[in-house]
């Protein structure tokens, strides 16, 4: 049975402060709202018109799948259009999301992703669903390869690879030769000149610090460590920021994710003016997210530091 539409009423004030995974994609926000009411036709139209913009398609499909009742509405869609690859994709990603929450068997989600991949052989998005689900390194490498065969510069897949690779050997402590740095530099060099993958060296630096802080090898507050101020870190960030200024594209669906990393790095590096400029471009999107360090939201930390500097704390 399909779920009822969500109750009307004012959302909790706290929810307005959370990072909206749709970022500033207005069409996605509208489609998600329609899907919450069972109007899956709007999501269908959105995915059709997204076409083979694989970064945007992956982002939109994942966000739609996070809607609470998306699995039920995707099943309704499949009843109406049994051969729809997009309906199968939405169902697969919705089951992946439920499996990650412990509400669905992972094997069922894997099967649904494979079914979607059969219907959409050139689409990397079903494989992105599998990559979101898997945790073993051997399987992660294999799935990343499947995505790269279909779209070599997949933004989200590279972010996931950096995060997973950074988690290798957590007990080894700080190591400037850790494989996550080599992978990030390789991927950035392989990407086209206008690719957002240029930011991967900073992401690798941030994700590895997250792992080290969790393991107790670094302070929870990155500003209290030397991780961001060493010679290598400065070289990494200078190169990434130079690239960012060259290839920033306002239309990139996940550009705020990258800006959050950059602004976060500038806070940790102690460069307040540069962080302020980046936070201004982000707007009021808070930066608390999976890459945030333990107990630290860089946007809140930045605002607190700025208030203290102005004497308004």
CB 147 within 8 A of CB 127: yes
Predicted pLDDT at 246: 65
**In sequence order, which residues have a C-beta less than 8 Å from that of residue 33 and are 6 or more positions away?**
none
Name residues of the chain where pLDDT drops below 70: 1-19, 244-253, 284-297, 312-313
Q: pTM for the whole thing?
A: 0.87
Token pair in block for residue 209 = 């610090």
**Is residue 206 left, alpha or beta, with left meaning phi > 0 and alpha meaning psi from -120 to 50?**
alpha
Name the CA radius of gyration of the chain, rounded: 20
Cβ atoms within 10 Å, residue 119:
16
- Write out pLDDT tens, residues 267-302: 777 777 888 888 777 776 655 554 556 666 677 777
Cβ atoms within 10 Å, residue 185:
15
Cα–Cα distance, 134 to 173 (Å, whole number): 25
Residue 299, CB half-sphere, CA atoms under 13 Å: how many?
19
* Of residues 295, 187, 277, 191, the one with CA closest to residue 241: 277
Cβ atoms within 10 Å, residue 295:
8
Distances (CA, A) of 308 to 282, 283, 288, 293, 312: 22, 21, 21, 22, 6
Predicted pLDDT at 17: 45
**In sequence order, which residues have a C-beta less than 8 Å from that of residue 294 and are 6 or more positions away?**
210, 213, 214, 220
Q: Which residues of 52-75 are buried (b: 16+ CB within 10 A; e: fewer)?
A: eebbbbbbbbbbbbbbebbbbbbe
Helices (H) and strands (E) in the chain, counts: 15, 0
Distances (CA, A) of 18 to 257, 276, 280, 297, 300: 14, 20, 18, 12, 13
CB 69 within 8 A of CB 36: yes
Cα–Cα distance, 306 to 281 (Å, whole number): 17
CB 3 within 8 A of CB 13: no
> For 230, which DSSP code?
S
Cβ atoms within 10 Å, residue 37:
13
Predicted pLDDT at 287: 55
Cα–Cα distance, 147 to 226 (Å, whole number): 36
Residue 69 CA, distance from chain mean position: 21
């Amino acid at each position: 049975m399909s779920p009822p539409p969500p109750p009307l009423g004012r959302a909790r004030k706290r929810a307005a402060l959370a990072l909206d995974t749709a970022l500033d994609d207005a069409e996605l926000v509208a489609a998600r709202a329609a899907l919450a009411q069972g109007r899956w036709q709007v999501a269908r139209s959105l995915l059709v018109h997204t076409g083979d913009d694989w970064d945007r398609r992956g982002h939109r499909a994942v966000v739609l799948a996070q809607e609470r009742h998306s699995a039920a509405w995707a099943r309704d869609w499949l009843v109406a259009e049994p051969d729809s690859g997009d309906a199968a994709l939405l169902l697969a990603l919705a089951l992946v999301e439920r499996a990650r929450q412990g509400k669905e068997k992972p094997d069922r989600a894997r099967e649904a992703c494979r079914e979607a991949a059969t219907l959409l052989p050139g689409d990397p998005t079903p494989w992105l669903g599998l990559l979101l689900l898997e945790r073993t390194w051997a399987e992660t490498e294999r799935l990343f390869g499947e995505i790269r065969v279909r779209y070599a510069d997949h933004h989200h897949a590279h972010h996931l690879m950096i995060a997973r690779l950074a988690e290798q050997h957590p007990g080894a402590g700080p190591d400037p030769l850790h494989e996550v740095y080599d992978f990030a530099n390789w991927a950035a060099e392989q990407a086209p000149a206008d690719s957002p993958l240029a930011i991967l060296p900073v992401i690798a630096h941030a994700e590895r610090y997250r792992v080290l802080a969790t393991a107790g090898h670094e302070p929870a507050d990155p500003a209290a460590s030397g991780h961001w101020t060493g010679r290598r870190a400065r070289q990494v960030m200078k190169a990434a920021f130079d690239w960012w200024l060259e290839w920033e594209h306002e239309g990139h669906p996940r550009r705020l994710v990258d800006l959050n990393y950059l602004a976060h790095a500038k806070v940790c590096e102690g460069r307040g003016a540069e962080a302020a400029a980046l936070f201004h471009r982000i707007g009021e999107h808070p930066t608390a997210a999976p890459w945030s360090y333990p107990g630290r939201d860089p946007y809140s930390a930045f605002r607190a530091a700025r208030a203290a500097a102005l004497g308004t704390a």
